[in-house]
Structure 1
């Protein structure tokens, strides 16, 4: 224990380090680095702080920083609650795999490795920097831990292009993937972190914490902050200073300076709704996952309680009672991780404020949604699937509510409106084809119901939709007798409905063999076809293959077997009445029954080969 403390905090160092214990309620003591440490102070200790502080273990009271560390928990679970691939592996074997990945990424080797009893700690011992260097160390730690990767192991996309960051991600991505599989805890990179001290016993496993590598403490080698920064950051120190010098030499008009954020009146106006939405996102995330995975329960409890305190206030006891059952923690465990938040809540209730960046803030923690997502391992795909608005990784934007609900309906098995309309039209065409084959309306409806699984009303509407769809006459030539002449295009006026297009050029061939003509909605039958409420057509045919269509506006139009417009035969013209009588209406209860005054003409019989070709669209 003494060796471990002296490695981290030498006798010539400034500030105070913290020894903490969880035997019973959580307790911690502060000790000056320049003063000798008594054995009585070490015996109950289980944790030691990685940095030194001035009066309290707070990130705002850092006296010295410089060390970097990684904390692995292979017994944790991933975001979906599945065990990690390295669970149960020998600590020495896991250390060898991680050390090889660190060396392959170009990073200096850690100064020492610790077997904590249920995980591993990799620590880089660096020179002590003053507390104001904390932002630089935070950037190093963030790059060392890496972003929250997508489910396939790729790095999340950024909002802006950056070639330097692309090169950094390509070099460090394999190491970050291995760190994720080994259970790297993203919530252990804060400057006020305490790690388990050598010689203490881990109560969860009953194993003593020990130095895993090197075997002798004299072999521990230190690193420099600049060497570690050059290995993990996108730009080295020299390149960064050169870029800053170039930026300072630029004209003031060319700089894109962001104006200072200021608020008028109440400094906290409009913030309550934001924190309430963050609470809703955290609850929605838990509901989407089903439960909070082991290793993230304390972090989820802390972040949710902080957002709840920002929106509605409260006490640690109330937050613990509300969130402990949801996170899967006991009441004592939840209270233990909410003590620091409770102290800040008391400062807020006393009227204390903090000024940062020209803005007045409450003493509570002000985590962004991206920071919360990183702490909880939320990917972009998971945020979209769970419908998160603010707790999203990186610079991702929230999906609009309408698109999010539509995607959720599709995932639940709903069919988009366009697909439903196409399916209904297709079913109606099948019904019309059956009617053309000679089936009754009841038989066609039952066939549609059997194939589509819908009701009778839907089947009737499908047939009506197919019958009223736009009509396109397409000629089906005889396969054995291809056309040997070029036909002139027949063009109808788009401005006037009436009129008649010029006939086709005379054919040098004899009259072609009779051929069936079909409509775009399927094979037509002899009888009435309603195109719209203003247009009603009557279709007739004879043995010669000539089809006559009677329209309210166009009159009688005849087509031959090849789809060319021809003169209406005299026998057909005389046989069709020019004026139509309105159908008689009979009432049966609340329903109206339309009865046609003209008897129905039976549909022409089709051969099996003709019906097969026409039903398939040939």
Structure 2
């Protein structure tokens, strides 16, 4: 059946179909001699039982399966039904649960079937081979000629497209599974106790390719033949583009170059400057050798030489003409100057090229800039954003709004991306700063850079840690401990009221070889008395240790 054929179907179901028996239905669905086996499945008190039969014996065993909910596979397999044992594709099917759609929830089955048939005909599709009332909905089956399992992807694509066309009737997407089972007529739907019955159909089998083309046309998609033509054209264009030259054709490019040469002459007040006349005329003649519509190259070169190159001798003009004619007759290879080379020969700067809006005569740097600008304009015309605009609109990774709520990024997304108020943002900024200060303070403490007793959160962030000489030991160093007099002056305390901890700290800081087992503190206090001339300086120590006085 060709896709362009117009098919007409009766609006009324065939009388024989309304009383179709299960044996006749199975014989129609799986003809005798078809390739593969069929699985019958019954459901009795939530207990499943499945058996596999060949197509010849299938109709005679159906009578055993009629007293309960029974199902049959629409396709055939090599043994029990399984996705990997597919033997032949047999049907394009729709399982229409129309009661799940609000517009059909309370509608009668006859009205829904009538509306479905009208939609099928309006889409240009053939009527289904069978329409079956399944008890809670209805099923539409289009029988197709036996299709090899290798075409499974094509069958699934057509099946998915067919389901998309009838989504408003509650089409079930699970029909894309070839191992799916459907109810058998004359069996009982135990969910509501209704009998499954055939409502109508054409009883015809369709060719898969023609039916799939009808489905694709109804969905506004290209058919298989149109898709093959598009693919071949794309391949041809790709091969042509890979072998041919990039950019403009030589004739078009040198026509643009000739226009740029005339623009430069007008900028030079219709006279080529001395020193550039011969070069300008040579490039102009070269452009004429590449163009196809030039009838008399010699007269054209003489005309522009007389008009724009006054002062150029006839011998030089004749030499340019002879060289151009030899290349026009292909006695010699044509010159193929680039725009950057011509700009270099004529001394044209990029600023001048941009000012005069030259199309070809400019440097390679200017060409790269123009290519980037052209690509950016093309992308903007397609609706694409600049990088800075995109980052301004998509700055979640920069702002990190999940930190405001105390969530991780994944938790923030799972909770629906809750927004943050201005107050919460300021609070989050303060919380972000305090851990940094605390971590820096702990680092300084580990390096011995803060005085003892300084609160952690009040430490300055810019505090520099103490740096010890390479040969010193921080445990025995006295450099980071102020002198006793300095501590007394800063605290405004008398020397004799200094705590014993200061004295003991200085004694303990003395290197081990200089300390004696006993009398170290006493000797140090006596030395300090002599140095400060204050006999009361050792009183706290004497009170604590009277035996060593």
TM-score (norm 2): 0.39
- Which has the larger share of helix? 2
TM-score (norm 1): 0.35
